[in-house]
Structure 1
Amino acid sequence: MKNEETSQKSEAEWKQQLSPEQYYVLREKGTERPFSGKLLMNKEKGVYKCAGCGAVLFTSDSKFDSHCGWPSFDREIAEGKIREHKDTSHGMIRTEITCAKCGGHLGHVFDDGPTETGLRYCVNSLSLEFTKAP
């Protein structure tokens, strides 16, 4: 089911709003090259927002270095901010994660995280914007 914001924007509007790289990841379910993302090594305190709609998705407190090549988090900022979908592409069964507000592709979630949640939200930097804490 599409949400309100996704259904109100045309693909032309998304292409105008997003960079070609962001469009590829957020709207076409692409993946940035590992270890290439601008937020991979970010250690500042703040929040991570969806680059498509600005919804706050993660905090810096939930970010950890998973050595997988993409920013990783152990929990979403609040329940319902992220949707999960079965992904059978590339000959694997994975769980895709999307922004609950705009439907933008973020990455995947895995059950091999090192914290008490046991989760690793593996997210493309191109799907995110960072706002530093005041």
Structure 2
Amino acid sequence: MKITIKGHKQLKISPDLRSYVEEKIRKYEPLIKEPAICEVLLEDVNGPKGGLDKVVKITLILPELKNPIFICERSSDFFGSIDLAQDRLEQQVLKYKEQIKIGTRYPKKYFLEKEFNKEEER
């Protein structure tokens, strides 16, 4: 997976922040088929004024999907925004994998019932 990390306008990205983003995104590499492109845009909306202004936008382009997966999260610091975005990315990737696994074999309600029964047995 190719990961591109950019800072909006004049924002400089520290090596710690860059490695943190790559660590969080690379976690999903085994779930995604190649060639996939992930673009991460870090943005500080208000500048030095503070507040909930650190925005992380993740765009994941997968070869099997028509539309890319787009996630935008905001918090008071970049690390918190990245964590929130990573949680949403996990949900979207698992949803995408479930759609591929189900396919058009049978209605989704039967698949969900089967999964629910597996969880009850545990």
The higher relative CO (CA closer than 8 Å, separation ≥ 6) is in: 1
TM-score, reference length from structure 2 = 0.27
Instruction: Work out which of the two has the higher radius of gyration on C-alpha atoms and give 1 or 2.
Output: 2
Structure 1 or 2: larger strand share? 1
